Amino acid sequence: MKDSIREIIEIPELTMGLDLGDKFSYYCIIDKSGKRVEEGRVKTQRRAMERFFKSQPKMRVVLETGTHSRWVQAIAKEQGHQEIVANPRQVRLISQNRKKSDRKDGELLGRLGRVDPELLYPIQHRGEAAQADLAVVKARDELVRARTRLVNHIRGSVKAFGERLPSCSTEAFPHRVQLHIPGCLKMALEPLLEMIQQLTAQIRLYDRQIQQLCQQKYPDTENLQQIRGVGPITALAFVLTLEDAHRFGRSRQVGAYLGLTPRQDQSGNRDPQLRITKAGDRFVRKLLVGSAQYILGPFGSDCDLRRYGERIASRGGKSAKKRAVVAVARKLSVLLHHLWVTGEKYEPLYNSKEYLEGVA
Of the ranges 197-206, 249-258, 333-342, which one carries the lowest mean pLDDT score?
249-258
Answer whether residue 88 shows pLDDT above 60. yes
DSSP H or E stretch at residue 238: helix 232-242
- For the stretch 16-70, pLDDT in tens is 999 999 999 999 999 999 999 999 999 999 999 999 999 999 999 999 888 999 9
DSSP state of 172: T
The model carries a pTM of 0.80
DSSP 248-311: SSSTHHHHHHTT-SBP---BTTB-----B---S-HHHHHHHHHHHHHHHSTTPPS-HHHHHHHH
Return the CATH number of the domain spanning residue range 8-120.
Answer: 3.30.420.40
pLDDT tens figures, 275-291: 777 877 899 999 999 99
The H or E element spanning position 342 is: helix 320-342
Q: Within a 10 A sphere around the Cβ of 277, how many other Cβ atoms?
A: 17
Q: Locate the domains of the chain by residue range.
A: 8-120, 128-217, 222-263+273-359
If you average pLDDT over each of 89-103, 149-163, 254-268, which comes out highest? Answer: 149-163
CA distance 279 to 285: 9
Q: In what order do the strands lie in the sheet with 60-64?
A: 36-43, 24-31, 14-19, 60-64, 82-86
User: CA 346, CA 352: separation in Å to the nearest integer?
Assistant: 14
DSSP state of 127: P
Q: Which of 76-90, 142-156, 303-317 has the lowest mean pLDDT?
A: 76-90
Amino acid at the residue 40: G
Give 338's contacts (C-beta < 8 A, 6+ positions apart): 251, 344
- Angstrom distance (rounded) from CA 81 to CA 288: 37
206 vs 269: CA distance, rounded Å: 52
- Of 15-19, 32-36, 119-123, 252-256, least confident by mean pLDDT is 119-123
